């Protein structure tokens, strides 16, 4: 089976985004916004997307650096893919458009499960403002 060209494109974009804290923060905020807009259609996946975006935002801000590069690349690629309107199944196709996005999210979550759990535990023990609640 041939590799998904949209996935390759998302991975290349993720690599470029991770080179810039500003671009990483922009991506995280864009995912928060899009997840809010699609909350009803996404269901539980909206929370998962927001957690990944918070992880990226905390990494980009230097608050949380205990994340392996492979995990960063995986979650950033998944977030980029989520924001791409034209991917394997274009998002404007009602009912199906987010299906491939959720598949990429599920695969990414599976790959990075332990690192995501470590981040969640770190965030829960911090007790201060969470990355997704910041207004800056």
Q: Show the low-confidence residues of the chain (pLDDT under 50).
A: 1-2, 88, 131, 134-136
Query: Residue 6 is encoded by which pair of tokens?
Result: 């949209």
**93: which DSSP letter?**
S
pLDDT for the residue numbered 136: 40
pLDDT for the residue numbered 1: 37
Q: Is 65 in a helix, a strand, or coil?
A: coil
pLDDT for the residue numbered 85: 63
pLDDT for the residue numbered 126: 81
Distance from C-alpha of 5 to C-alpha of 2, rounded to nearest angstrom: 8
pLDDT for the residue numbered 101: 73
Total count of residues recorded for the chain: 136
Q: Contact at 8 Å (CB) between 73 and 14?
A: yes
What are 34-62's pLDDT values in tens digits?
Answer: 889 888 877 888 899 999 999 999 999 99
Burial class (CB in 10 A: 0-12, 13-18, 19+), 89: middle
pLDDT for the residue numbered 11: 78
| Sequence ranges of the domains in the chain | 5-124
pLDDT for the residue numbered 4: 65
Compute and round to an integer the Cα radius of gyration of the chain.
14
C-alpha neighbours within 13 Å on the C-beta side of residue 95: 0
C-alpha neighbours within 13 Å on the C-beta side of residue 50: 19
pLDDT for the residue numbered 24: 94
């Amino acid at each position: 089976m041939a590799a998904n060209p949209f996935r390759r494109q998302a991975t290349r974009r993720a690599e470029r985004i991770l080179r810039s804290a500003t671009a990483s923060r922009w991506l995280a905020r864009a995912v928060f916004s899009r997840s809010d807009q699609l909350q009803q259609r996404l269901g539980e996946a909206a929370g998962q997307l927001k957690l990944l975006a918070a992880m990226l935002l905390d990494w980009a801000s230097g608050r949380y650096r205990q994340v392996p590069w492979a995990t960063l690349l995986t979650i950033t690629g998944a977030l980029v893919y989520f924001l791409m309107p034209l991917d394997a199944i274009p998002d404007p196709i009602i009912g199906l458009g987010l299906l491939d996005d959720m598949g990429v999210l599920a695969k990414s979550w599976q790959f990075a499960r332990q690192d995501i759990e470590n981040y969640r535990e770190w965030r829960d023990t911090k007790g201060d403002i969470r990355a997704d609640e910041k207004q800056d």
